[in-house]
Amino acid sequence: MTELPPVEYGVAVERYLAASGLARNSRRIYRIALATWAWALADRPAPTGPERRQARPPVLPLALLDHPDAADRLRGAVAHRAAETDPRTLNREISTLRAAAAWWRARGWIDGDPTADLRPRPLPEPPTTTTPLTPDELRALFALRAPLREQTLWHLLHESGFAIETVLALDTDHLDLPHRRTRPGHTPVHWRAGTARLLPLLVAGRTEGPLFLTDRRAPADTPAPDRCPYTGRARLSYRRAAELFTTHTRTLGPGWTLRQLRTRR
């Protein structure tokens, strides 16, 4: 039996998500992104901030995507979103809409492609240099009343000289605590006394799973290597580690970043 094309945009969104094979949390993010474009197609401003997640998008026909001014409305929405959100989020939203529109077009639910002229926004250039924290700044940082996880991560980044991504990828069974290094067969990370004092406290009897963990339990679709078998929590992400560093160092100086902890090896 041939599937009848949906009349409403919202129904088309749900059919696309159901067939996407995405995990539940990813479907939720895609649904929010696609709802944002519904406001644009209705020629209405989309809610922002916390209200965006709870707002009910307008009910409109999927055929609006074939309207002659649909492309203009979407381009205007991109310009508006660019003024209020970061480029990575906007680019993800554009990519989500383009993927959904291609899926609908392949099924004959829409004829044209109003997303054809939507282009990713340029990302900001990363800083070419990062000035390391001074000895006085490091002493102030390590004197903060920060949680054990943060202090251990900061010490390890500073003492090892390794990239943040490498350190966050460590598992507890990679560690050779008595010799202050990782075991053979793993990235050769070494550390000094500050880290050596904190790591046994952080591990606290764990013998496998990610070394640095989130505060909450991992979502159900988290891959097993990124989930702690003892606590059910997930591996700490670079984004979250950077946010925590910014929060804790706000009183010490503006614009401090985790990469300023790294020293030459």
| Tens digits of residue pLDDT in 79-97 | 888 887 888 888 888 989 9
**Phi, then psi, of 30 in degrees rounded to 5:** -65, -40
Q: What token pair was written down for 107?
A: 């099924």
Would you say residue 245 lies in a domain? yes
Predicted confidence at residue 54, as pLDDT, reads 67
Predicted confidence at residue 157, as pLDDT, reads 96
Torsional class of 125: left (φ above 0), alpha (ψ -120 to 50), beta (otherwise): beta
Q: Is the pLDDT of residue 128 over 60?
A: no
Pairwise pLDDT comparison (127 vs 137), residue with the higher score:
137
Contact 182, 174 (CB under 8 A): yes
Instruction: Give the burial class of 93: count Cβ atoms within 10 A of its Cβ; 0-12 exposed, 13-18 middle, 19 or more buried.
Output: buried
Average of per-residue pLDDT values in the chain: 88
* CA 56 to chain CA centroid, nearest Å: 24
Same structural domain for residues 86 and 169? no
CA distance 145 to 152: 12
Q: Is the pLDDT of residue 162 over 60?
A: yes
Q: pTM for the whole thing?
A: 0.55
Domains of the chain: total: 2
Contact 233, 131 (CB under 8 A): no
Q: Radius of gyration (Cα) for the chain, nearest Å?
A: 24
Q: Is the pLDDT of residue 2 over 60?
A: no
Same structural domain for residues 146 and 257? yes
Q: What is the mean pLDDT of residues 65-87?
A: 88
Same structural domain for residues 15 and 94? yes
Tell me the percentage of the chain whose pLDDT exceeds 70: 92
* Residue 85: domain span: 9-106
By C-alpha distance, which of 131, 130, 194 is closest to 158? 194
Same structural domain for residues 76 and 155? no
Same structural domain for residues 209 and 96? no
Same structural domain for residues 150 and 238? yes
Predicted confidence at residue 50, as pLDDT, reads 62
* CA 179 to chain CA centroid, nearest Å: 34
Would you say residue 126 lies in a domain? no
Same structural domain for residues 16 and 75? yes
Confidence of residue 14 (pLDDT cuts 50, 70, 90): very high
Q: Is the pLDDT of residue 150 over 80?
A: yes
Would you say residue 32 lies in a domain? yes
The CB-based long-range contact list for 12-21 (8 Å cut-off, 24+ gap) reads 12/62, 12/100, 12/104, 12/109, 13/100, 16/100, 16/103, 16/104, 19/103
pLDDT, tens digit, 9 for 90 and up, residues 107-121? 999 999 999 888 887
Same structural domain for residues 176 and 244? yes
